[in-house]
Chains A and B, each alone.
Chain A
Amino acid sequence: MVAAVIGAILLGLILLAVITVISIYNSLIQIRVSVKNAWSQIDVQLKRRHDLIPNLVNVAKGYMAHERQTLEAVIKARQQAIDASSLKDKVQAENFLSQTLRSLFAVTENYPNLKADQQMKQLQEELVSTENKIAFARQFYNDETGRYNSSIQIFPNNIVAGTFNFQAQEFFEIQDAAEKQAPQVSF
């Protein structure tokens, strides 16, 4: 009789443990998928920026023949960003591309004709919008990554995460060090 009760309690406990593990596992999977989605959203926006840059350079070329250096820097940075494969390289290359674009826009301030160009205006709006989308996508990705990283570290999730090999995700960070080495703009 006693053995039966103990057996039932044990069975119940095991069942409870299994259910808990399953639910934790599922919630972790959910967050991981959401992180992946967030990353693919960044990817979409980065791709869009890569597509816009050749047009921008073409339009700008017509007006600013003296700024060859800046334009070439942008094209080179774009190529690097496309070639980058690992997350870390990608982050670095994209950040560098952002800087070169920023310096390009700084230079365009000196060319009123270019600024007034209808096509340039449209491209600039598109690029501003894409930059914002990248920033927002990155912000969302980082938020989700933060949520994911903390959820695999808290108890008891860490046990489940350890068993099923859930690994911490890297953040998409803007490196301040790289920010400081902005290329010199020659006027």
Chain B
Amino acid sequence: MAYSFVEIERQKTNTIKWVLVFLFFFYIFSFLAIYISAKNWFIAYSAYKYGEHFYWQWFSRQEFIVGLTASIFVIIWQWQVATSQLLERFIGVLGAEPPNKNDSYHKVLINIVEEVSVATGGVKMEPYVIPIMAMNAFAISDFQGRSIIGVTEGLLARLTRQQLEAVVAHEAAHIASGDSLQTTVISSLFEVYNALISGIESTTGGSRISTRSRDNSFSGLVVIVYMILVLSRSMALLMKMFISREREYRADAIAVRLTRDPISLAEALYSITYHWKLQGMPSAEMDSIFTVSPNLTPDQEGNGFMDELFRTHPPALDRIKVLLNMAHEDLQTLVNDVDAKSERIRVEVPQLSGTTDNTQWMVSKNNLWEGPYNLTQIAGLSWFNPETWVKRMDQEGVKLAYDDQELIGFLKQQHQNASGLFCCPKCKIGLQELEYEGVLVYKCPTCSGTLVNERDVQRIIIRPEVGFNDRIKKIGDELDKNTARWSEAKINRNLITLYTCPKCMNDRCKMNRMFYTAVYQVEIDKCFYCGMIWFDKDELEVLQYLIEKRSLTAYDKNY
């Protein structure tokens, strides 16, 4: 454990070079094999036709040199393709995006990556977020020294701060030790085949390739190239032999050295392993850049020889055991701790300031008293102005609004708080910014409707921060019972009741009133132009409650 990070840098192995040499021999071999069999087939065919004797022929020196040059060119080309825009391509395939500074969960990630960077003595790393519910993390680097640590939204939402820190430290260890450069480049080299195959399939129409190819000779060539590519793709299996499984143990060890906290890393590994880890990712070639192998469920992680050979990661349980050994703790305690920590203390649904106030006023409109209203309701009255007569319920006497310090102070504050961007589609007054489950939403102070960006709805749903009161639960349960008759469920799409999108403000294209999904029949209004979604009062909370109740718990119980 006497690693200084400078020393680790020096320990880089020559794996990339070995892979290139391997590919080079593979190309020469396959080139010659195809060439010789084609040539001999042709000779045998003509020998049969003209009744001559058939002699098997090998290749001449010139032909060998042609094969050699061709292989070198293919390798150079493949290298060029694989290493240009290296990180951008990975980010693109994974759909990762830079974190949003206004999102408090993302802010925590940014901070944690900075902290770990300090612990390594200043290794530069950029945080990225994959907007999906799965739990996993990855690290990639390129030759220019740029490194990226990516974390899924699911991981951000479900892990504690310490656990997240441990995962980031593990990824940072890969980056500092140069592992991630290796795995990134090697994965990328083999990714090229995938890209080519899908390219060919899309131009020739996929499976019909073999029937068409009989028509002309050019297609015959395509078939051969296609076959080589398919063969090469199966080499992705072989690639996994080049990537050392020891590197995961080593990265775990370095991570512990960075954070001095083996327990949190063990906990994180445990909760990732027994959750949805990202199965069904675009390509299996990317396995090796992740913390925990995305494509295996815990019971698939066998210990046989073949498993050993073709696996990119050691079984998570083995890694957890090593970590627990460092901390002298046993597995049962760990499991209990993880379960206890995943039961977060829920906070109440956040409300706009002032909505809970009890003081009420009577308000004079055209010499008629209305009310009583509380502060937020007054803020929503469009005709209200400083010269309106008001009467405070808990005081005697009538005065003009601008004489009431509390009232006027609140209204001024409301004016400042208003986002100034959007107006409530129902009440036509300014929506206010509110932080809800870490994301910025726009809430109406009067009708309590909420405007949320479509992508943020996903985030709100996976974050288990807010607890729900009995009223929400009751509405949710009631809705749950009635969903069986979903085909009969009707939505009122009367044009008069439809809302205009507060962002686009386009009267001719109203927001579409729809169910969130056929399964979760919560009515939402969605603008198909900009993707903003309007939730009437309680709808957002009910939706969250329903999804949490049904899908998440059901999934967690299965594993």
Which residues of A come within 8 Å of B, CB atoms?
A: 34, 37-38, 41, 45, 116, 118, 121-122, 125-126, 128-129, 132-133, 136-137, 139-140, 143-144, 147
Contacts and interface: CB of A to CB of B under 8 A. Distances in A.
Interface in B102-126: 104, 107-108, 111-112, 114-116, 118-122
A33 to B, nearest CB: 12
Nearest to B6: A34
A41 B122 contact: yes
Given A118-B435, A126-B111, A133 B104 contact: no
Contacts of B111: 125-126, 129
Contacts of A121: 104
A129 to B, nearest CB: 4
A59 to B, nearest CB: 15
A139 B260 contact: yes
Given A116-B347, A122-B104, A136-B258, A129 B118 contact: no
Contacts of A118: 435
Contacts of A129: 108, 111-112, 114-115
Interface string B345-374: 001001000000000000000000000000
Contacts of B122: 37, 41
A110 B104 CA distance: 23
A147 B114 contact: no
A133 B165 CA distance: 12
B4 interface: yes
B107 A38 contact: no
A41 B122 CA distance: 9
B121 A140 contact: yes
Interface in B251-275: 258, 260
B4 A147 contact: yes
Nearest to B347: A116
B491 to A, nearest CB: 35
A140 B6 CA distance: 13
Interface string B320-359: 0000000000000000000000000001001000000000
Nearest to A126: B111
A29 B122 CA distance: 19
Nearest to A131: B115
Contacts of B116: 136
A105 to B, nearest CB: 14
Contact of B115 (A34, A37, A136): A136
- Nearest first, the 9 A-B pairs at minimum CB distance are A136-B119, A129-B111, A136-B118, A132-B115, A133-B118, A140-B121, A137-B118, A133-B115, A118-B435
A98 to B, nearest CB: 16
A133 B122 CA distance: 11
A45 B118 CA distance: 10
Nearest to A132: B115
A128 B160 CA distance: 14
A42 to B, nearest CB: 9
A121 B438 CA distance: 11
B115 A125 contact: no
Interface in B142-158: none
A39 B1 CA distance: 23
Contacts of B107: 122, 125
A126 B121 CA distance: 20
Nearest to B350: A116
Nearest to B121: A140
A126 B112 CA distance: 10
A126 B110 CA distance: 11
15 contacts: A45-B118, A116-B347, A116-B350, A122-B104, A125-B104, A125-B107, A126-B111, A129-B108, A129-B112, A136-B115, A136-B119, A137-B118, A139-B119, A140-B121, A143-B4
Given A34-B121, A116-B347, 8 more contacts: A34-B6, A45-B118, A125-B111, A126-B111, A129-B112, A129-B114, A133-B118, A136-B119
A50 to B, nearest CB: 17
Contacts of B6: 34
Nearest to B110: A129
A37 to B, nearest CB: 7
Contacts of B118: 41, 45, 133, 136-137, 140
Nearest to B107: A125
A118 B435 CA distance: 8
A112 to B, nearest CB: 10
A17 B111 CA distance: 49
Interface in B59-94: none
